[in-house]
């Protein structure tokens, strides 16, 4: 028998080669472990950033609705204030991604969102005037717009493309754990001490995240790798934004996510409003419970998605994530309050948990070598944000018009539209 190099291969050597092949098949997982053991000074602060940045992404948003409802705000007005903030964040997301690509201080783009979260929490406590609340939501949206591409860039700069899947999967697990712990603390503190403690906790998480990112040594972040330049091509020049508009897989991904979040973003806030309005639940504790359940499921799901992506492409993972929205819409139609919160949020945790790993992973893989990965992340988040921005207002006004239950069915239908688009353009995205 001859080996691939035309040298005889003995049985002992074959066994060794087989063992090496098995190790290689879980390469990203092994690489992630070796990175942790070699450089804890840069890995554990990154995990801590992901843990405490939870309030920069979702922030005080889930609690704002019930907070304002208890102060006499109508659901439509609540949705409008949140939508204005979301639109502002959507408009700056792509430019921020470009700035992060060109920046030589990636850590700064985590510090800025931390400051925005502190401002958002302070403003809404000082005044519940419509424009004050709207400004608070704008500050929160600016934080959300910057934090994902910033952390993605730092992760790429540390792990490079080969180690990105493993490290990103662990990042997401820590992020969901932070969301779960933050929501549990918010629910308890809100129940015991009121909403002031909820918003104060969000500000505290922002401050801790700033401290943690500054603990990552700047020299360990490779700026070229962080924006996706080929590691073996020093002359790889980044293209302009028009390149993204011509990149069909990226556009299909962004449009499918926009449809998904047009339905998904409003379900949890409306579900909480419905339960509180019917007197079935205490506002802070109910909202916190919905978040804790979903985030707990996402911890496990994100690790499973990381392992699946190391063996297969991201396309089927994202398709499966879309399937859970219509099921949640039907479930919310029939069951509200505490009886429905567990299955509703378990389904949300599975779908969203898959996306938190698969979406940045697919963007990084499809744009590898362009030098514009963070701009690509920003572009996808921007288009996705169109759906997420319109969702609260759409859901809020429809709920006022036809009631909560039928609104859940309509919102769930957008998941079917995402699936249809993803399948129709499967040829363009399946290889990623």
Is the pLDDT at 253 greater than 90? The verdict is: yes
SS3 240: coil
Is the pLDDT at 28 greater than 60? The verdict is: no
Is the alpha carbon torsion for 132, 133, 138, 141 positive or negative? positive
Ordered by where they begin, the domains of the chain are 39-228+239-429 (1.20.1250.20)
% of residues, the chain, pLDDT over 70: 79
Task: Give φ, ψ of 364 to 5 degrees.
Answer: -65, -40
Distance from C-alpha of 86 to C-alpha of 83, rounded to nearest angstrom: 5
Q: What's the pLDDT at 81?
A: 84
Beta strands, E only, 253-368: none
For residue 215, give the DSSP letter.
Answer: T
| Average pLDDT along the chain | 77
- What average pLDDT does the segment 18-40 reach? 42
DSSP assignments along 115-149, one per residue: HHHHHHHHHHHH---HHHHHHHHHHHHHHHHHHHH
Distance from C-alpha of 327 to C-alpha of 413, rounded to nearest angstrom: 9
Q: Helices in 127-229 by DSSP H: which ranges? A: 130-193, 195-213, 223-226
- What average pLDDT does the segment 29-44 reach? 52
User: What are the pLDDT digits (tens) for 279-290?
Assistant: 555 556 666 776
Is the pLDDT at 428 greater than 70? The verdict is: yes
Report pTM: 0.67
Q: What's the pLDDT at 379?
A: 81
Q: What's the pLDDT at 212?
A: 92
- What average pLDDT does the segment 384-397 reach? 82
Q: Which of 106-110, 364-368, 373-377 has the lowest mean pLDDT?
A: 373-377
Q: What's the pLDDT at 414?
A: 93
Contact 199, 299 (CB under 8 A): no
- 207-211: long-range contacts (C-beta < 8 A, 24 or more apart)? 207/114, 207/118, 208/48, 208/52, 209/48, 209/49, 209/52, 209/53, 209/56, 209/110, 209/113, 209/114, 210/110, 210/111, 210/114, 210/115
361, exposed or middle or buried, with CB in 10 Å at 0-12, 13-18, 19+?
A: buried
Distance from C-alpha of 214 to C-alpha of 269, rounded to nearest angstrom: 34
First to last CA, the chain: 36
Contact 323, 415 (CB under 8 A): yes
Q: What's the pLDDT at 256?
A: 94
């Amino acid at each position: 028998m001859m080996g691939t190099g035309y040298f005889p291969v003995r049985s002992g050597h074959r066994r060794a080669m087989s063992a090496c092949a098995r190790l290689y098949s879980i390469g990203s997982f092994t690489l992630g472990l070796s990175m942790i053991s070699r450089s804890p000074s840069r890995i554990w602060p990154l995990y801590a950033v992901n843990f405490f940045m939870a309030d920069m992404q979702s922030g005080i948003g889930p609690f704002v609705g019930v907070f304002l409802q208890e102060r006499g705000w109508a659901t439509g007005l609540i949705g409008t204030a949140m939508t204005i903030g979301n639109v502002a964040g959507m408009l700056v997301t792509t430019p921020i991604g470009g700035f992060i690509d060109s920046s030589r201080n990636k850590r700064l783009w985590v510090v800025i969102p931390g400051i925005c979260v502190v401002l958002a929490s302070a403003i809404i406590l000082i005044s519940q005037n419509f424009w004050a609340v709207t400004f608070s939501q704008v500050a929160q949206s600016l934080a959300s717009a910057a934090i994902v591409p910033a952390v993605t860039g730092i992760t790429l700069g540390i792990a490079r493309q080969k180690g990105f899947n493993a490290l990103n999967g662990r990042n997401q697990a820590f992020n969901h754990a932070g969301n779960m712990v933050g929501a549990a603390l918010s629910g308890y503190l809100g129940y015991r001490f009121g909403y002031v403690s909820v918003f104060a906790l969000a500000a505290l998480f922002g401050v801790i995240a700033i401290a943690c990112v500054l603990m990552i040594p700047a020299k360990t972040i490779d700026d070229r790798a962080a924006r996706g330049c080929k590691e073996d091509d020093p002359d790889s020049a980044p293209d302009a934004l028009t390149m993204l508009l011509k990149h069909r897989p990226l556009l299909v991904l962004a449009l499918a996510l926009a449809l998904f979040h047009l339905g998904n973003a409003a379900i949890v806030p409306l579900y909480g409003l419905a339960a509180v309005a019917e007197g079935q639940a205490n506002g802070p504790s109910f909202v916190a419970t919905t978040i804790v359940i979903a985030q707990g499921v996402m911890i496990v799901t994100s690790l499973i998605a990381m392992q699946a992506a190391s063996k297969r492409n991201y396309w089927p993972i994202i398709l499966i994530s879309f399937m859970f929205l219509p099921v949640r819409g039907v479930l919310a139609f029939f069951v509200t309050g505490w009886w429905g919160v567990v299955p509703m949020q378990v389904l949300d945790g599975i779908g969203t948990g898959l996306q938190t790993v698969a979406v940045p992973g697919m963007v990084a893989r499809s744009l590898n070598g362009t030098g514009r990965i963070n701009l690509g992340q920003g572009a996808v988040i921007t288009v996705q944000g169109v759906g997420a921005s319109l969702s609260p207002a759409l859901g809020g006004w429809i709920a006022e018009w036809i009631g909560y239950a039928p609104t859940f069915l309509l919102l769930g239908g957008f998941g079917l539209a995402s699936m249809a688009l993803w399948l129709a353009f499967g040829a363009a995205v399946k290889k990623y």
